Amino acid sequence: MSDALRQFKSEIFQGLANPTRIAIVELLREGELSAGELIEKLGIEQANASQHLAVLRAKQIVLSRRAGNQVYYSIRDHALIEVLDILRRYFYGQLSSAVNMLQEVAGEKPKSRLRTHR
Amino acid sequence: MSDALRQFKSEIFQGLANPTRIAIVELLREGELSAGELIEKLGIEQANASQHLAVLRAKQIVLSRRAGNQVYYSIRDHALIEVLDILRRYFYGQLSSAVNMLQEVAGEKPKSRLRTHR
DNA sequence: CTCACATATTCGAAGTTTCGAATATACTAG
DNA sequence: CTAGTATATTCGAAACTTCGAATATGTGAG
């Protein structure tokens, strides 16, 4: 695979590598919201939200459109939603593994160990 | 969505937010490889590869297993491959948009503008 | 035990990200 | 024009990431 594609992917990931920005993308799942609405729902500083939105714009994750006094944001491509959905499933999968491990640790005769080599 | 899930997702993204680590994950698509094989294919310093592998382990993206003198790495969950595939399609989609924009800029009477509001 | 090899960790420098505070810009109403 | 509201940018401090160099650890052979 090309370096350009790897670079591109890593920038997308970097754009999403922050819980606040993930929260923004998820708020935008249902449709566009103004910066003000996002700030209100996120409960964070205006400057901070604006900075995160700038990152999402720079990484081409969201689109913005000005309407009068406000700026409305939306997700640029549905693919990103799919990515988040896959990770949700992945998350619950990981959770189950963790539960299994705990059960094994708690039980007397663990049958299969999921330990790492260290 | 819970903070824990957002935190988890952002850590996965952070784990993948680096071109070298993406290259590692893609090399592991076809099956497990030893650290040495990865280093050779990546052409980077041993210490650096090992650090990146440590990040991938910490974020639960890969599994490692020791076999004698070597440590073999594999991808923990197929979901991550799906994510990379989705982004590949996304990438080409973005590329086409870019090409369209260039064509419009080059042409005399652009019909639709994809400009941002600024 | 010792040696050699494969891999991991620690360290410090350079670069990047994150935050809130302060300030700047864009737009609307009057 | 002025004033008000919405949003963006700049700044500096603290925290985090990345790299290579050096060092440490784990394993197998002898």
Residue B91 has pLDDT above 80, yes or no: yes
Could you read off the pLDDT of A33-57 as tens digits, one per residue? 999 999 999 999 999 999 999 999 9
In angstroms, what separates the C-alpha of A45 from chain B's closest C-alpha?
A: 18
Q: CA torsion sign, A46 to A50 to A52 to A56?
A: positive
pLDDT exceeding 70 applies to what percent of chain B? Answer: 81
Nucleotides of C under 7 A from a protein CB: 5-10, 17-23, 26-28
A92 touches chain B (CB under 8 A): no
Of B5, B60, B86, the CB nearest to A82: B86
For residue A81, the distance in angstroms to the closest alpha carbon of chain B comes to: 10
Q: How many helices (H) and strands (E) does chain A have?
A: 5, 3
Q: How far apart are CA A13 and CA A7, in angstroms?
A: 10
Query: What confidence score (pLDDT) does residue A118 get?
Result: 39
CB contacts of A23 in chain B (<8 Å) are 1, 6
Q: Is the CB of B47 under 7 A from strand C?
A: yes
* The token pair that represents A80 in the structure block: 């990103």
pLDDT at A64 over 80: yes
pTM: 0.86
| Strand C and B67 CB separated by under 7 Å | no
- Chain B contact for A59, CB < 8 A? no
Residue A109, pLDDT above cutoff 50? no
Cα–Cα distance, B21 to B54 (Å, whole number): 10
Name residues whose C-beta falls within 8 Å of residue B65's C-beta, 6 or more positions apart in sequence: A117, B32, B71, B72, B74
Contact B117 A66 (CB under 8 A): yes
pLDDT at B107 over 80: no
C-alpha–C-alpha distance, residues B115 and B118, integer Å: 8
